Amino acid sequence: MQVTSQQFKRKAAEALANPQLRKALGNLRARMVSGRARSLLELENLEQIREAAKSARDFALAHLDHLLERFELNACARGAQVHWAETGDEVNQLVLEIARRNAVRKIIKSKSMLGEETGLNHYLEAAGIEVRETDLGEYIIQEARETPSHIIAPAVHRTAEEVADLFQQKHKLPRKTDIGEMTREARMVLRPHFLTADMGITGANFLVAETGTSMIVTNEGNGRMTTTLPRVHVAIAGIEKVLATLEDVAFILRLLTRSATGQPISNYLTFTTGPKQAGDKDGPDEFHIIIVDAGRTRVLASDLRAALRCIRCGACMNHCPVYQSVGGHAYGWVYPGPIGAVLTPAYVGLDNALDLPNAATLCNQCGVVCPVKIPLPDLMRKLREQQVERGLRPWPERLTLKLWAWAALRPAAYAWITGMLARIGRWAGGSKRLIHKLPGGAAWSRHRDMPAPSGKTFRELYRHRR
Amino acid sequence: MNTRDRILARIRLALDRGSATAQSESAAAVRDRLDNHPRGPSPARDWERVPRFRERCFSLSSTVEGIARLEQVPGAVARYLGENALPLACVCWPEFSRLEWAAAGLQVEARPATGEDAVGISGVFCAIAETGTLMLLSGPDSYATTSLLPETHIAVVPAARIVRSIEDGWDLLRNERGALPRQVTFVSGPSRIADIEMTLVLGIHGPYRVHVIVVGG
């Protein structure tokens, strides 16, 4: 996907001025936040489970090489074909080669954020293959020619009215406004595609090293169809998706679905090991798994490694005051919210996503709700430090800091400058002792007044009182 | 070096595995965890298997009924379909082909489901009490389509096959089958979405309703 994170400020401002978006985001806050809180009450040993989940993910990352080798060995022993890709482009090429080799004309897709990273749909469509997103949210945004604004509720930015208009225009059927009827219509429209597709593409929530299994967590049933009905199934997964055992998956799922949607379990957990076996009446003839780096080894080697623990529940964005206000599109790439503010610079380059680590209040709501305890505010702080160290901040900011550093190293000059500022500030504050317009800080003082200084610096007052 | 080896080499570099000792220690830790597959912490289980399973099925918007013997399944199915004004033609897994369907007024064929079939009757490998979940295995006689394509899915669950947790399900699978089949599917109620304005709707691509018949107990 094209990176537009550099336009964060402009897009955030537009988002704030969009009443439809604000209505849609209100739903998210109401449902997801309270749903998560309620469902986690069932786990009286929540902290113990979180700690174990964190350490199971850390184990996976600490032994990533051996676990991936075991995964590959076990998957191949069951007839799966394992491929490796270093970049998003390589993923796209591999998928297209598999499709061409199997004379594929139509592909059904279950949601994959990695597929969004690589721009897989556009690539395949450009090669003349029909690609159908089948997760309802993804289907809506595909038809609207948009990108997902949330990792598990991709169309959360759309109101029902907007979806009704879209369906009427695309399906050429009478407009429906009842959400149940709209859903039924989508089932009717998509069902024939499931039954006629040649190939299915899914992501993977986890890869299980113990058994060579790739697994997905879904609610709609489209994931089951995508992995069962077409004659070829391709799963794409980042290297960090591996877990050691089926037991690890089982106990982490208790946190994943509750943190994501407040469900104690999602409707379908689908564990796939190899293609159709002798005697089976269903299942694909070929099962391919593409294991993808695309920036992950770089993160593994960096001090942002903890971000790779992420199990993609979306709780950090659901709870983020910035995400709740501006939605996902402003972040400008695949992953929005706090995890996006870390992963986007890490994957596409800090200089391509300068605003994201700063687009946070560091309130640590995200850190508190993260089921695998990723210290997201700390990671954002590290990225802010890197911006300064690499000289990536805008020039007025760099100049200001340089001037401050110059003065701070010269106590006499510092005392004189701050003394002047304190006196000017006092004068500017007038009788009410409030500064209405801050020179160089107009945006800040547009909605509030700055209390004027007393006219003396701390050091002057201290000397006076002693 | 090919792509695979380059990625693995970068991982080893990132993990700072300079020495052969570090490499073999990591390999041993992985072997140990995979061989022993230790369980993670689980929530308290101060409940009985069967009542918990039934209660959780309801909370997932499945419906549940209990019968004493397998022979009573056709009668129960006919009653359920009749009460809900659903079609009386069904497809089922072969393990149920010998039941007296016609006597209960049903037309039941033992074959995989197509997009046209309205009711699918399946068994289970086992069921999970903690969450009200059905555990299904793919195989020559356990068609995935039965529980997927029809609008109504009826599952026959022997009470003795209700285990406490997914972890117990894995153990049962290892003991009875050894290896995983092509697909293990955990089904928890009718398919659902909340993609439009976060409003919950039951029934999208998978079944609209799941009816669970618990046999024995």
* pTM assigned to the model: 0.94
The alpha carbons of chain A give a radius of gyration, in whole angstroms, of 26
CA distance B15 to B19: 11
A94-113 tens-digit pLDDT:
999 999 999 999 999 999 99
Comparing CA positions, the residue from B213, B216, B149, B205 lying closest to residue A139 is B205
CA distance A211 to B144: 21
Asked if A250 lies within 8 A of B167 by C-beta distance, the reply is yes
Asked if A160 lies within 8 A of B10 by C-beta distance, the reply is no
A396-410 tens-digit pLDDT:
889 998 999 999 999
Q: φ, ψ for residue A150 (rounded to 5)?
A: -155, 145
State which amino acid sits at residue A410.
Answer: R
Give contacts of A 390-409 with B, CB under 8 A. Answer: none
CB A164 within 8 Å of CB A182: yes
Q: Measured between CB atoms, which of A78, A179, A247 is closest to B197? A: A179
State which amino acid sits at residue A369.
Answer: V
CA distance A64 to A241: 10
CA distance A362 to A340: 14
Beta strands per DSSP E along A252-385: 268-272, 286-292
CB B10 within 8 Å of CB A297: yes
CA distance A237 to A249: 15
Token look-up 């592909």 returns A107
Topology annotation, domain A5-297? Rossmann fold (3.40.50)
B19-44 tens-digit pLDDT:
899 999 999 999 999 999 999 999 98
Q: Measured between CB atoms, which of A52, A221, A277 is closest to B41? A: A52
Asked if A280 lies within 8 A of B166 by C-beta distance, the reply is no
Token look-up 């992963």 returns A343
Q: Per DSSP, what are the bridge partners of residue A216?
A: A270
pLDDT for the residue numbered A78? 97
Cα A95 to its chain centre, rounded Å, is 23
- For helices A136-143 and A179-196, the axis angle rounded to 10 degrees is 90
Q: Measured between CB atoms, which of B3, B13, B182 is closest to A84? A: B3
Tallying the residues shown for chain A, one arrives at: 466
pLDDT for the residue numbered B191? 94
Q: φ, ψ for residue B189 (rounded to 5)?
A: 80, 180
- Domain residues of chain A, as ranges? 5-297, 400-465
Contacts of B29 in chain A (CB under 8 A): 59, 63
Contacts of A291 in chain B (CB under 8 A): 7
For the record, the structure tokens of A309 come out as: 């623990």
Give contacts of B 53-92 with A, CB under 8 A. Answer: 56
Token look-up 């350490």 returns A55
pLDDT band, very low/low/confident/very high, at A394 (cuts 50, 70, 90):
confident
Burial of A154: CB neighbours in 10 Å, binned 0-12, 13-18, 19+: buried
> Is the ipTM of this structure higher than 0.90?
yes
Is residue B194 predicted with pLDDT exceeding 90?
Answer: no
Give contacts of A 326-365 with B, CB under 8 A. Answer: none
DSSP conformation class of A306: G
Query: Coil, strand, or helix at residue A403?
Result: helix
B61-86 tens-digit pLDDT:
999 999 999 999 999 999 999 999 99
Question: Any chain A CB within 8 A of the CB of B45?
Answer: no
% pLDDT > 70, chain A: 100
Is residue A31 predicted with pLDDT exceeding 90?
Answer: no
Contacts of A67 in chain B (CB under 8 A): 30
What DSSP string describes A120-169?
HHHHHHHTT-EEEE-SHHHHHHHHTT---SSSSSTTTTS-HHHHHHHHHH
